[in-house]
Structure 1
Amino acid sequence: MRGPSSNIGLAYALVLGAVVALGLTWWTTGDAFQLGALRIGPWQAWPLTDPLNADRYSRARIARSGDLPLGPGEGLAFTARVDSEGRALDGGCHYTIGPILPPARWWTLSLYDRAGKPFVNPSERFGFASSAVMRGENGAAAIETGPGLQPGNWLPSAAGPISLVLRLYDSPVSTGLATELGARRAIDMPDIKRGTCQNGSQS
């Protein structure tokens, strides 16, 4: 016959097991879990997030994020939450993203806040497309972001965590080369270099 201490121990074990299981589920559906992730510098993509044929971890990640991933052959979205030196992106700092010259028929670069939403700003500029960005002499583009408004390829931001998403459309990376080795050979992802921040620190 079990005493009160046995019942308490059983309840504790059940609660502990539930907490551990939920914690592991949350971790495996987040960005820190690397199964299926493709990393190139500060950029990370999930090539196996086809909603129809994705593995269970990818399907759970899609459900948690609420994103609508690009289908096979459509393209691949790379997300960066750190700069090229591994420091977390902060909208209070100035960043230069470039050179952007990926092997893709079309690409877009967008800036998001900590909630994954575009920054509300007076210019209503939330990103750039390859068809509208200003380019240098070699055809490469560079985009800058930071507080305030400036002319050129500029994305306004505000202090706090931010993320950048570079979407490649009609690219060999999304049509059979979505492996880390193949992607590294097929594409050079742009650097993300930090400049001056609102607190006065620099890169």
Structure 2
Amino acid sequence: MLKTPFMVAITLVIAFAGGIWSVLAALDATTGLAAIRIGPWEAFPLAQTVKADPYARAHRARDGRLLYASAEGLTFTARTDASNAPLDAACTYRLTGLAPAARFWTLYTRPANANPDRPEGLNSRMILREIDGSFAIDVSARARPGNWLALPASERFVLVFTLFDTPVASSTGVSDIPMPELTKLECAHG
């Protein structure tokens, strides 16, 4: 007599749990469909617009982060280096090259560096540059001479490169956008 309601309850629990799990897995797999990818850098210029796909809207709702409109700025993230290896806080990286055209840009890690005595982020007005406008930034847990961005204590991290007041968001020629190259120099664990 209780067999049928029990089986219905089990079926509903499995269906709801499976549905929730599949949505969370889909959200973790992608931030959106209309991505700009240049080397290890990835951005979603349509994420804050009415043209945003359902995944981008769901990410915006879940994360609760304020995204920039296309006229205000564009955020690029890097989860891997130039050789497509995941970024690891035990390694030292060098970011070299030119930044895309922008009035101002920032660079920081997520999760953030918790030590207040270390640089949490860099921006376009504080870095040392070469004569041609290029720069080299060392991203490392240990202090380095020149432009240095401190890494967080966690193993995995993401580099966040935000361009403010940039024409890149509306650009259709993605291949000609200069993005800094991110190369691994050395790792403490081998």
User: 1:59 is matched with which residue?
Assistant: 57
Stretches of structure 1 lacking an aligned partner (at least 5 in a row): none
Stretches of structure 2 lacking an aligned partner (at least 5 in a row): none
- The reply on whether 1:184 has 2:182 as its aligned counterpart is no
After the TM superposition, which residues 66-77 of structure 1 pair with which residues of structure 2 at under 5 Å, given as runs? 66-77=64-75
TM-score by length of 1: 0.82
Label 1:33 to 1:111 Cα distance change in 2 as closer, same or farther (>3 A).
Answer: closer
Give RMSD over aligned pairs.
2.2
* Distance (whole Å) between structure 2 residues aligned to residue 141 and residue 39 of structure 1: 21
Determine if contact 2:75/2:163 at 8 Å carries over to the other structure.
yes
Q: Deviations over 1:2-25 (max 9, x none)?
A: x54443432232122112211222
TM-score by length of 2: 0.87
Determine if contact 1:105/1:171 at 8 Å carries over to the other structure.
yes
* Distance (whole Å) between structure 2 residues aligned to residue 188 and residue 81 of structure 1: 18
Determine if contact 1:81/1:164 at 8 Å carries over to the other structure.
yes
SS in 2 for 1:138: coil
After the TM superposition, which residues 1-203 of structure 1 pair with which residues of structure 2 at under 5 Å, given as runs? 4-32=2-30, 34-50=32-48, 54-113=52-111, 118-157=112-151, 158=153, 160-174=155-169, 176-177=170-171, 182-199=172-189, 201=190
Q: Alignment identity in percent?
A: 34
SS in 2 for 1:12: helix
Determine if contact 2:93/2:138 at 8 Å carries over to the other structure.
yes
Shift of 1:92: 1.2
Aligned residues: 189
Label 1:94 to 1:10 Cα distance change in 2 as closer, same or farther (>3 A).
Answer: same
Label 1:124 to 1:33 Cα distance change in 2 as closer, same or farther (>3 A).
Answer: closer
